[in-house]
Copies of this chain bind each other. A is one copy, B any other.
Amino acid sequence: MKHALSEAALPRGFRFAATSCGLKKTGALDLAILSSDVTASAAAVFTQNLVVAAPVLISKEHLRMSKGRMRAVVVNAGNANCATGAAGRAAAERMAAETAKRLGYIAREVFVCSTGVIGVPLPLEKILRVLPVIARHRRPSARSFAETSLAICTTDTRPKTAAASFKTAGKRIHLVGCAKGAGMIHPNMATMLAFVATDAAIAPSLLQKTLRAVTGRTFNAISVDGDTSTNDTLLVLANGEAGAPSIKAETSAHRKFSAALEEVCRSLALQIVADGEGAQRVVEIEVRHARTEAAAKRIAETIATSPLVKTAFAGGDPNWGRIFAAAGRSGVKFDPALVDIKMAGIPVLRRGQPLAFNERVASNKLLSEHVPVVVDLHAGQAKARYWTCDFTAEYVRINASYRT
């Protein structure tokens, strides 16, 4: 998305607010609230890391206790509230409870999210001081949504937002989402924070099932650096305010909703990869004609996370040997003598044999913003796609001094 979302793209019945409470040293926006005017169906996918931040624990509990009926998210950037012990847990609980109080909701209706540095106690008083103000200033406006998308950024160079809509039963349903990256991006969960709001009506259990399926093809098919975070959270609030009938499994309305949710999630996921720390380009790895989708995804993921492959893309080097070698160590059995590889549309390997190509033309094509790579195994009917970014010296610069 090159442009900010328009007012018309927003789903009905949601309000947003953001402010600067001093967690970011720069004075940038670092605290936000997203809320629904009515109780909404909620679904979420969280980090699979064993080291889990306090807000993730609290959000999981609230989602369970409320049986998927939630109303708001409070989120801060600049401090992950992770590895902060019992005090961190109490801080996350208090952050949700105080937000609920200011909004007139109950605590278990509030998700709480944090992102930033690990192991530093959360300066809760900074957050509590400004909560009454932003609670009052929530607006159903494109501008306040844009501010929310900025408030969740850490090393992101730009905000990430996406929108989709579809028509059902004579009503237009809207979905908007925002996300933040940009390091520690890897499946399970693939992004640190992403929030989707929609005025669709759908039961929590079906929403959860739909979200899981969509996540597998979007947020769980991207990688920046192979590291997963302790705070990863993707959540959806669906408040039904568009006035359409509730979406049921297997209906055409559900197919439309699922496609729209996938569109928003894929857009956010790709924006995260494109804004991967130091990244210059997005590389799309497609593995074709594998025996199973899992095998295709495993090969694509191994290629997508190889530092040697990723650094070659940083230099626009058509080094298909590294792609072939990464596939070879993926753990998936295939016959190397059957493999074709294309880079940026140029056939470089056919049936395991290198093809002659113009290096200069290839290198120019590889310097594009989006580079497709196709690995054809000629072994079956399954395929998978995976997105990664190039690995640049700038990535190292950012991460060699993140805390200091």
Contacts and interface: CB of A to CB of B under 8 A. Distances in A.
Interface string A305-328: 111100110110111111011111
B363 A404 contact: yes
A184 B328 CA distance: 13
A402 to B, nearest CB: 7
A50 interface: yes
Interface stretch (A91-99, A107-115, A348-356): A348-356
Given A118-B324, A393-B397, A333 B50 contact: yes
Contacts of A294: none
A307 B227 contact: yes
Given A50-B333, A329-B48, A333-B50, A396 B311 contact: yes
A307 B391 CA distance: 10
B119 A321 contact: yes
B328 A230 contact: yes
Given A229-B325, A325-B118, A308 B83 contact: no
A379 interface: no
A226 B325 CA distance: 12
A402 B48 CA distance: 36
Interface string A279-318: 0000000000000000000000000011110011011011
A322 B227 contact: yes
A134 interface: no
A82 B306 CA distance: 19
A401 interface: yes
A325 B184 contact: yes
A345 interface: no
Interface in A111-164: 117-120
Given A227-B326, A395-B311, A400 B118 contact: no
Nearest to A230: B325
Given A228-B325, A328-B51, A352-B85, A184 B308 contact: yes
A399 interface: yes
Interface in A353-404: 353-354, 359, 363, 391-393, 395-404
Given A49-B325, A306-B226, A308-B184, A353 B402 contact: no
Contacts of A204: none
A39 interface: no
Interface in A146-195: 183-184, 188
A399 B83 contact: no
Contact of A227 (B84, B308, B398): B308
Contacts of A229: 325
Given A50-B328, A226-B307, 11 more contacts: A83-B324, A225-B308, A227-B306, A227-B307, A227-B308, A228-B328, A307-B395, A312-B399, A312-B402, A314-B400, A315-B400
11 contacts: A50-B327, A52-B328, A83-B336, A118-B325, A226-B306, A227-B326, A312-B400, A314-B396, A317-B403, A391-B396, A392-B396
Give 5 closest A-B pairs by Cβ, nearest first. A315-B400, A118-B321, A51-B328, A311-B399, A393-B393
